[in-house]
Amino acid sequence: MISLNKKDIATITNTNHIIKKYNFHLKKSFGQNFLVDLNILKNIVSSADITEETGVIEIGPGIGALTEQLAKKAKKVVAYEIDQRLIPILDETLQPYNNIIIINEDILKANVNKMIEEEFNGYEDIAVVANLPYYITTPILMGLIEKNLPINRYCVMMQKEVAKRLSGGPNTKEYNSLTIAVNYYTIPKIVLTVPKTVFIPKPNVDSAVVRLDKREEPAVKVNDESFFFKVVRGSFIQRRKTIYNNLKQSLKGVLTTDDIKTALKAVDIKENARGESLTIEQFAKLSNEFIKYVT
């Protein structure tokens, strides 16, 4: 075992000790920033409502600071770590816990559904809790959410600006197609803000923890889900452009300009409106109206 000055991994002294012992060089390409504030880690676990019946999926455990706190509360923790260099470190720092499984794999390529069937068979409560690598936060989050996995909630740390987008509302600068996609599947809420000063090394931006509770049914009913998201993404191609001009470009070859104008009028959306002014309900109505014109 590593000789730590305190029991918990997440202190500046212990984190620096581990880094020095293993001569570990943090890779910017992996978005490695280690959290060294125990109170924040405990607040993350608390915000995620982890109990002794919960199965937890963690992404990017680093040296195990959050993993350790999760293991104290959860029934089992399965952590995906892409960096092979961290595996022997995790084997040592997390040795006292018998309810942790470390998988050395890229979460974007992993068969998470198969893992859930094997490791969380019979579990009624499954949560994703993680300090997500900032450079691939959206692909990881949406990759999991869109698969409709048996995951009840997500409690994840990300850049503060991205967190604002997830929880933003219409007519705000943060509101975009990602906001709508996340709200379609989940109910997001910022539960914690995290200053950049509590990381080693210190990142350039502050962070926030967002909790996303999976909806029993999508937020709106749409006739064609993939087409709905095509319409949403197309409406935000250029924020300064009107929804009509954006859709004329994004749906070229799918709908005629007359079809777009007719559909907008049918659902009472003005041609000069902008994507950020529309609610998710309005996007659903528009998408369902467009379907009538698609041959």
CA distance 220 to 256: 26
Q: Please report the pLDDT score of residue 285 as a whole number.
A: 98
Burial of 122 (0-12, 13-18, 19+ CB in 10 A): exposed
CA distance 208 to 210: 6
- Residue 164, sorted as left (phi over 0), alpha (psi -120 to 50) or beta, turns out to be alpha
Say whether 35 counts as a known binding-site residue. yes
Residue 1 lies in a domain: no
Identity of the amino acid at 71? A
CA distance 187 to 214: 7
Domain boundaries, position 67: 12-214
Q: How confident is the model at residue 233 (pLDDT cuts 50, 70, 90)?
A: very high
Q: Please report the pLDDT score of residue 295 as a whole number.
A: 62
Say whether 81 counts as a known binding-site residue. yes
The strand pairing partners of 212, in sequence order, are 154, 188
Q: Is the pLDDT of residue 2 over 60?
A: no
pLDDT digits (tens, 9 = 90+) for 50-76: 999 999 999 999 999 999 999 999 999
Same domain, 163 and 246: no
CB 26 within 8 A of CB 32: yes
Q: Is the pLDDT of residue 4 over 50?
A: no
Spatial neighbors of 214 by CB under 8 A, at least 6 apart, are: 145, 151, 152, 153, 154, 185, 186
Same domain, 174 and 259: no
Residue 273 lies in a domain: yes
Same domain, 94 and 183: yes
Same domain, 58 and 137: yes
Say whether 275 counts as a known binding-site residue. no
Same domain, 177 and 251: no
Say whether 60 counts as a known binding-site residue. yes
CA distance 92 to 132: 22
Residue 2 lies in a domain: no
CATH assignment of the domain containing 141? 3.40.50.150
Q: Please report the pLDDT score of residue 1 as a whole number.
A: 33
CB 127 within 8 A of CB 54: yes
Q: How confident is the model at residue 266 (pLDDT cuts 50, 70, 90)?
A: very high
Say whether 131 counts as a known binding-site residue. yes
Q: How confident is the model at residue 5 (pLDDT cuts 50, 70, 90)?
A: very low
Number of CB atoms found within 10 A of residue 80's CB:
23
CATH assignment of the domain containing 264? 1.10.8.100
Residue 3 lies in a domain: no
- Of the residues 214, 244, 264, the one at which a domain ends: 214
Same domain, 156 and 265: no
Tally of structural domains, the chain? 2
Identity of the amino acid at 263? A
